Structure 1
Amino acid sequence: MKTILPAILALGTALSAATPALAVQDVDTVKLGVLNCTVEGGTGWVFGSSKDLACTYAPADGSAEEVYVGTINKFGIDVGVTGKALMSWAVVAPADSAYASGQLAGDYVGASAEATFAAGLGANVLVGNSDSSIALQPVSIQAQEGVNVAAGIAELKLVGVQG
């Protein structure tokens, strides 16, 4: 417990420091939908980790869901072993943007922090892919099991899956 409390405090500090820097300033935004992902478990190797994920995008307008696969890479402190994690992000963009099917494919980057002891929490604020101004904002804190402490930069790579 003595090591988990500092990790949780670091989580809050990292996210509060990163969030303003990643926020879109003076731009009206719209929530396009929700991206729900299952992240495979794995081991953090002190300076980072790479885990596969499978995601479903549910558009807010009720149109057909889209399926994506990819990886989430974390760079920074990442020590421990975790089981599968569930993560959800709100997909947001400038209000004047039009969404095209498959547009979530691409690379995203942002701040990442988590603390896990048996059952834990974490969050990843990820900003735009190279082809658009889409941002992924945490809807719920990730739920995972294992023993892990991580803080640093996260990179998410998504590839569309044809259904």
Structure 2
Amino acid sequence: MTRYITTLFATAAVAGTLAAMPAMAADDPGIKVGVLNCTVAGGSGFIFGSSKEMTCVYNPVKGTKETYVGRITKYGIDVGETGVSKIAWGVLAPSADMKSGALEGDYVGLSAEATVGGGVGANALVGGLDKSITLNPVSVQVQNGLNVAAGIAQLKLTATN
């Protein structure tokens, strides 16, 4: 019964945070210029946050693939442990003309996830080149473990090619 209530609470928290994410988006979010697919290392939440390494491949609508490494740090409630997770973001920018490595930089936004066995999460982030790139909140994170997290996420991306 306790596990059921915990799962119900976690799901409600994620749903509430996800519902608020579109309100964060700018009035003019830009043009979809590609998709950023990331693999995030597993690890433990430390009550008030977590920090995990990640590797990413950016598939632009125009141009060639780009690779990035990074770290996602979450501040807020983050309790539990997760395995390796996959995150995919739609990338929005003010213009379709982006230079190689344009996603490099710091991003910040809301994050929420709930995992009991298998789970989902979402991260709405803004940053990069002149704080003009949006990592679309349509992003879905798939992971395994036992974890509840909600708060602010900070992402740092560095181009590797």
Secondary structure of the structure 2 residue equivalent to 1:157: strand
Question: Mind listing any 5+ residue stretches in structure 2 that lack a counterpart?
Answer: none
TM-score scaled by length of structure 2: 0.93
One-letter identity of the residue aligned with 1:121: V
Cα deviation, residue 136, structure 1: 0.1
Any conservation in 2 of the 1:105–1:160 contact (CA below 8 Å)? yes
Structure 1 match to 2:18? 15
Structure 1 match to 2:77? 77
Cα deviation, residue 130, structure 1: 5.4
Rounded to whole Å, the distance in 2 between the matches of 1:113 and 1:23 is: 16
Structure 1 match to 2:127? 128
Higher helix proportion (structure 1 or 2): 2
Rounded to whole Å, the distance in 2 between the matches of 1:10 and 1:28 is: 25
Structure 1 match to 2:89? 89
Any conservation in 2 of the 1:113–1:151 contact (CA below 8 Å)? yes
1:5 maps onto 2:2 in alignment: no
Any conservation in 2 of the 1:88–1:138 contact (CA below 8 Å)? no
Q: Which moved more, 1:103-112 or 1:123-132?
A: 123-132
- The count of aligned residue pairs is 158
TM-score scaled by length of structure 1: 0.92
> What is the percent sequence identity of the aligned residues?
53
Structure 1 match to 2:105? 106
Q: How does 1:131-146 map to 2 (within 5 A)?
A: 131-146=130-145
One-letter identity of the residue aligned with 1:74: K
Moved over 6 A (4+): none
One-letter identity of the residue aligned with 2:18: L
Rounded to whole Å, the distance in 2 between the matches of 1:141 and 1:24 is: 20
Question: Mind listing any 5+ residue stretches in structure 1 that lack a counterpart?
Answer: none
